[in-house]
Structure 1
Amino acid sequence: MADVAIMGQGYVGLPLAYEASKVGTQVLGFDISQGIVDALNSGTSHIDDLSDEDIRSMVDAGYQATCDAGRLAEASTIVICVPTPLSEDGGPDLGPINAAVHTVSEHLRSGQTVILESTTYPGTTDEVVRPVLEQGGLVAGKDFHLAFSPERIDPGNEKFGAKNTPKVVGGHTPACADAAAAFYGSFVDTVVRAKGTREAETAKLLENTYRHINIALVNEMARFCHDLGIDLWDVIAAAKTKPFGFQAFYPGPGVGGHCIPIDPNYLSHSVRSKLGYPFRFVELAQEINATMPAYIVQRVYDLLNEDCKPLRGSTVLLLGVTYKPNIADQRESPAVPLAQQLIAKGADVRFFDPKVLEWSAVPEARRVDSVETAVTEADLTILVQNHRSFDVDALALKAQRFFDTRGVAADGDKVQRL
């Protein structure tokens, strides 16, 4: 028997399993990948935030990983932590959620609590998940509990994790919320009760839409500040000294990860499909952030032109190709469209990332063995992601041209900032 079965043992589900197992909860980790299951049962981690030692401690505490969906019936609580990507038309792809929910419905028993954590559009828990779970005759709020609790995992964040990040919970009924809150309250420091599932679903979308829009704001400011000869990084440093009414956001080569480029689109799609009008802030922010790689390419063209070099045939070195610093996660990394557009214009693109040994998303880009040698050979080096292992100032001094998209390099004749 298990206290909880967590469906999806990735960046969201596995840290949740880890924290639950630490307080003695008997955790069953369900995943459709036999390779992941075998690795976890042998004590091997596949995500940045947990080490092999962490996984071994889970196993020692009774954690088991499995591909056997029949074992879901053993658990008192089932938490769904599957991916929610975008479809080809930019709308939400509920395929993974639908597959997971149908699997749960085949093994659902009276008295269980089912919690959806996967980010999605408002109404999904009630309109998509509940009808499938009730097909067998059990009724949500009466025979089983149903709730939504948005995942708030920030991969690579050394300060906030699954335990000390407040957990928002919205139930189909108050009793459903009570059951979900009691589960999370056993290992999460703070549980926040939302009015219902729709409010909990929308809270997650608001959080990431807020970031998405503010990142777009500074990305657009980066463009005109460059044209006006204004140092935006100095502007931000000055503005953030105000102790109220301002939160610093920073420009970059685009947005990446499993949340910011995706979640606001779920909200925008929901508004358009249900209400018939656009969520203009989100769509404008998406347009600005999505065009940042192209803007970087134009800046590269201009910088090489100053050195009397064409972009075609020039060697461009990308430093850091993950979506955020100090982790190996490459999901939706803006380095991908940046490299692809440079290659399309004839550049010889090379890369170095201490976290990435093989960049399957851009096979045409060759990984260099020595970053120190590569920066001296490249016609232009771009700091795309600032991993802590990079000695940025030393690399900038060795480079022929150094384009800093993260605002961390010291001023110099060969250094240009976004």
Structure 2
Amino acid sequence: MPADLAVIGLHHFGLPLAQSATAAGIDVIGYDTDPAVTAGLNAGRSHLDGLTAAEVRRMLATGFRATGDPAVLGRARTAVICAPTSLGEDRALDLSAVTEAARTLAAHLRPHTTVVLESTAYPGTTEEILRPILEHGSGLRAGRDFHLAYSPGRLDPGNRHHGIANTPKVIGGLTSACTEAAAAFYGRLTERVVRARGPREAEAVKLLETNYRQVNIALVNEMAVFCHDAGIDLWDVIRCAETKPFGFQAFRPGPGVGGHGFALDPNYLSYPARTLGYPLRMVELAQEVNGRMPRYVVQRCAALLNEHGKSVRGARVLLLGVTYKADVADDEGAPAREVASRLLDLGASLSYHDPYVPDWRVLDRPVPRADSLWEAAADADLTVLLQHHRTYDLQGLAVKAQLLLDTRGATPAGAAARL
């Protein structure tokens, strides 16, 4: 029996898509190569922060099934590839999971299927990497025998106001017919579909949106260093600046950037023939600025301890919040890990507290978790707020802590040292 949708890759972007589609009455098959993921989902367990076991059970009750059998992909009218991508040490985007997903799908691809790539990718990926794999493996031709399109993922984990349904969906197809086929599918999930001129334009949307965030965070991170050295309260500056009703959007500094929305520089492609020969200088500089913030936080820790007659070596330091984003359990690329490793290198005695992370390791060794937050803050020589979870009573912590460094500007003015 045919299925409306096959979601390939059941992680940060694929599983929420499957949930949204299931809730919309779409018959969904979820495919993933990790047997622990598929077995857990079919048993009603969630491996993803933000999706509860009860929600997984509701998906199952409406017909959703997860599988590692690629043969089921041949049943789907629409296949969406949500395979994970990441940056390698050479800063090139690792598309190996995407290409593997494409090969798997190609072996079972049938005529008239709509194939959409949602994974983060450089402009040109859909046409120059995905298309040849699908055509070679299936013997079909994109734009004639099956539809092919790109749609950038726009999911914001933990966002209580914007989800798939009320976030406009950008779609760029290989042909106008491809675009319309993908638009017809996504129109069942979201209130608004935005048609790009083609897949390259849709891929460049992801490039622009991701780098916009990185560049603006880098700007306020530089301002944080400048304002501290100049004796200026940056947080008051931002408070005042964001009252401007035009030409300004407030971003806030922090100990670094993390998560799945990493900066993308199209100079660093995974296939040399497509390199531009020059970097995006603004993006490159933003990466550099944001990349040095964990080191700056550690410098501020050392200076704060020194002002109170203490050395980093031997100091008891408590880190609060080690995830990359507030109120989520994901620590993917969180700057807390580098902050912790640098403090350990300087001889500090570390502990941490995070309501979403029961166990945490740095430099291949476990970091003790504080059972009692209040007692740990009172006992620590320095408490460092790296992530502002809603459960933290920062006013109370500011009273309990011997020293408190707030890297998020979340404490009341004058209650703590702020970044």
Q: Which residue number in structure 1 is paired with residue 247 of structure 2?
A: 245
Q: How far apart, in 2, do the equivalents of 1:268 and 1:303 lie?
A: 40
Q: Which residue number in structure 1 is paired with residue 198 of structure 2?
A: 196
Q: Which residue number in structure 1 is paired with residue 266 of structure 2?
A: 267
The letter of the residue matching 1:232 is L
Deviates more, 1:214-223 or 1:181-190: 181-190
> Could you tell me how far 1:23 is from its partner in structure 2?
1.9
State the TM-score, normalizing by the size of structure 1. Answer: 0.97
Distance 1:164 1:320, change over 3 A: same
Q: Which residue number in structure 2 is paired with residue 125 of structure 1?
A: 126
Q: Which residue number in structure 1 is paired with residue 166 of structure 2?
A: 164
> Could you tell me how far 1:411 is from its partner in structure 2?
3.1
Q: Is this contact kept in 2: 1:92–1:266, CA < 8 A?
A: no
**Of 370, 383, 395, which residue of structure 1 is paired with 2:397?**
395
Q: Which residue number in structure 1 is paired with residue 49 of structure 2?
A: 48
Distance 1:266 1:69, change over 3 A: farther
Q: How far apart, in 1, do the equivalents of 2:306 and 2:366 lie?
A: 24
Q: How far apart, in 1, do the equivalents of 2:350 and 2:366 lie?
A: 8
Q: Is this contact kept in 2: 1:120–1:266, CA < 8 A?
A: no
Deviations 1:139-190 (A, max 9, x none): 0000011000011111000001111111100001111111111011012111
Q: Which residue number in structure 2 is paired with residue 285 of structure 1?
A: 286
Q: Which residue number in structure 2 is paired with residue 180 of structure 1?
A: 182
Structure 2 residues without counterparts, runs of 5 or longer: none
State the TM-score, normalizing by the size of structure 2. Answer: 0.97
Q: Is this contact kept in 1: 2:266–2:275, CA < 8 A?
A: no
Structure 1 residues without counterparts, runs of 5 or longer: none
Deviates more, 1:33-42 or 1:276-285: 33-42
The letter of the residue matching 1:349 is L
Q: Using the aligned pairs only, state the percent identity.
A: 53
The letter of the residue matching 1:226 is H
Any idea what SS the aligned residue of 1:72 has? helix
Residue 356 (1) aligns with residue 357 (2): yes
> Could you tell me how far 1:265 is from its partner in structure 2?
2.6
> Could you tell me how far 1:274 is from its partner in structure 2?
2.4
Q: Which residue number in structure 1 is paired with residue 376 of structure 2?
A: 374
Q: How far apart, in 2, do the equivalents of 1:275 and 1:95 lie?
A: 21
Q: Is this contact kept in 2: 1:43–1:52, CA < 8 A?
A: yes
The letter of the residue matching 1:77 is T
Within a 5 Å distance, the mapping from 1:61-72 to structure 2 comes to: 61-72=62-73
Q: Which residue number in structure 2 is paired with residue 326 of structure 1?
A: 327
Q: Is this contact kept in 2: 1:122–1:270, CA < 8 A?
A: no
Q: How far apart, in 1, do the equivalents of 2:267 and 2:287 lie?
A: 10
Q: Which residue number in structure 1 is paired with residue 411 of structure 2?
A: 409
> Could you tell me how far 1:364 is from its partner in structure 2?
4.0
Deviations 1:282-334 (A, max 9, x none): 00000000000000000111001011111011011000000000010111101
The letter of the residue matching 2:216 is N
Q: How far apart, in 1, do the equivalents of 2:235 and 2:196 lie?
A: 38
The letter of the residue matching 1:214 is N
> Could you tell me how far 1:389 is from its partner in structure 2?
0.4
> Could you tell me how far 1:360 is from its partner in structure 2?
3.5
Q: Which residue number in structure 1 is paired with residue 86 of structure 2?
A: 85
Any idea what SS the aligned residue of 1:366 has? coil
Deviations 1:103-146 (A, max 9, x none): 11111111111110001110000000000111132000000110
Residue 26 (1) aligns with residue 27 (2): yes
Q: How far apart, in 2, do the equivalents of 1:15 and 1:176 lie?
A: 24
Deviations 1:343-392 (A, max 9, x none): 11111111000000011355342111111110011110000000000001
Q: Which residue number in structure 2 is paired with residue 301 of structure 1?
A: 302
Q: How far apart, in 2, do the equivalents of 1:82 and 1:25 lie?
A: 21
Q: How far apart, in 2, do the equivalents of 1:344 and 1:152 lie?
A: 38
Q: Is this contact kept in 2: 1:268–1:282, CA < 8 A?
A: no
Q: Which residue number in structure 1 is paired with residue 117 of structure 2?
A: 116
> Could you tell me how far 1:267 is from its partner in structure 2?
2.9
> Could you tell me how far 1:87 is from its partner in structure 2?
1.5
> Could you tell me how far 1:275 is from its partner in structure 2?
2.0
Deviations 1:229-288 (A, max 9, x none): 0000000000000111110000000001001xx2x3343425995221121100000000
The letter of the residue matching 1:107 is H
Any idea what SS the aligned residue of 1:205 has? helix
Distance 1:6 1:300, change over 3 A: same
The letter of the residue matching 1:380 is L
Distance 1:170 1:220, change over 3 A: same
Distance 1:69 1:360, change over 3 A: farther
Q: How far apart, in 2, do the equivalents of 1:245 and 1:265 lie?
A: 25
The letter of the residue matching 2:387 is Q
Q: Is this contact kept in 2: 1:326–1:388, CA < 8 A?
A: yes
Q: Is this contact kept in 1: 2:217–2:251, CA < 8 A?
A: yes
Q: Is this contact kept in 2: 1:254–1:334, CA < 8 A?
A: yes
Q: Which residue number in structure 2 is paired with residue 141 of structure 1?
A: 143
The letter of the residue matching 1:13 is G
> Could you tell me how far 1:53 is from its partner in structure 2?
1.5
Q: Which residue number in structure 1 is paired with residue 104 of structure 2?
A: 103
Any idea what SS the aligned residue of 1:126 has? helix
The letter of the residue matching 2:249 is Q
